[in-house]
Amino acid sequence: MGKPKVLVTRRVPPPAVERLKRAGFTVEVIEQDNPPGRAVLLSRLGGVAGLITMLSERVDIELLEAAGPALRVVANFAVGTDNIDLAACRERGVRVTNTPDVLTDATADLAWALILSVARRVVEGDALVRTGTWTGWAPLQLLGLQLTGATLGIVGAGRIGTAVGLRSQGFGMNVLYVDEQRNAVLEERVGARRVQLRELLPVADVLTLHLPLTPASRHVLGAPQLAALKPTAILINTARGPIVDETALVAALRKGQIAGAGFDVYEHEPRLTPGLMELPNVVLLPHLGSAATATRQRMSEMVAENVRAVLEGREPPNPVK
């Protein structure tokens, strides 16, 4: 009998397919860059023992039933696993793995790209020059937030939140963080202080979100929290869209309750909440957090190693409990 079949739900950087084929597995790829339609995905699951999924694929009871008992491992090409019904996988004995650590730096870098872009109004400035409407230097033109001495508020001080905090050293910011646990790295290396969210909101100049999406983190930033921010504050979300109530965010931005926002993820991704796109003081990216070439290569290697381990009867390097 040949080696089990592995299905990859999208084109990914080469290592995943190369490594699995080299190890003797039959590998099928849904050869497209955009998410496959649900019907296409379900129709490809027959006899699949290893499934490599993206964050846009819902791995739920329907999918697990379509795959049947052959399925032994779902290797998510992401660190977040909010697209996966972990309990349903556990019940069926399907292992779930993810790609932690390798995307921490790339995602933290992108959070900083957004912080700087929104604080210093980079995209608005670019548009001014590009549209030929710039008439020259002016003392009151596109004034933004000076980061030196400002307060960076980190909500969720896990791997990525910590990396964002460490990068703030170069900007001379004060760092406050919200997390269930004390973060010794942030406290010792950047003098950060742990606070409650309600204490952080009125003092943060930059509020950056780094929570995983769970029922508890949905709409952590809603209308009351947005109202508690300073009118000069900026909000950055590189975590998961539903952590912010985007309808409330659009209203807050329109009212000038906060100064701006930088988003890489969206509540109804890839759809945008009405009104968001029209606002000049937001910078909107298409979920690029881990989109650095070296990072995506490593993620591709990791999904292969995780699938291979489970299908060869070993413990995977990155299990999700």
**By the criterion CB under 6 A, which residues form the site for ligand DGY?**
55, 78-80, 103, 289-290
Which of 71, 103 has the CB closer to ligand DGY? 103
Where would I find the beta strands (DSSP E) of the chain? 5-8, 26-29, 48-53, 73-76, 95-97, 151-155, 174-178, 193-194, 206-209, 234-237, 260-263, 282-284
**CB contact at 8 A, 296 and 288:** no
Q: Minimum Å distance from CB 115 to ligand DGY? A: 18
Q: Between 68 and 270, whose beta carbon lies closer to ligand DGY?
A: 270
User: Residue 217 corresponds to which tokens in the numbers above?
Assistant: 């983190």
Q: What residues does 84 pair with on adjacent strands?
A: 59
Tell the smallest beta-carbon distance from residue 321 to ligand DGY (Å): 17
240 catalytic per annotation: yes
Question: Looking at 287, 296, 298, 308, which residue is catalytic?
Answer: 287
Pick the closest to residue 161 from 227, 98, 237 (CA basis): 237
Which DSSP category does 287 fall into?
S
CB 12 to ligand DGY: min, Å: 11
269 is catalytic: yes
Which residue, 255 or 268, has its beta carbon nearer to ligand DGY?
A: 268
Nearer of residues 97 and 290 to ligand DGY, judged by Cβ: 290
- Stated length of the chain: 321
Catalytic member of 194, 240, 296, 298: 240
Q: Encoding tokens for residue 301?
A: 């290697």
Smallest separation (angstroms) from ligand DGY to the CB of 119: 23
DSSP 242-285: GGB-HHHHHHHHHHTSSSEEEESS-TBTTBPPTTTTT-TTEEE-
Q: Which is nearer to ligand DGY, 107 or 273 (CB)?
A: 107
- Distance of closest approach, residue 17 Cβ to ligand DGY, in angstroms: 18
- Looking at the DSSP bridge assignments, the partners of residue 97 are 75, 319
Neighbours of 236 (CB within 10 A): 30
Q: Does 287 qualify as catalytic in the annotation?
A: yes
Active site (catalytic) residues = 240, 269, 287
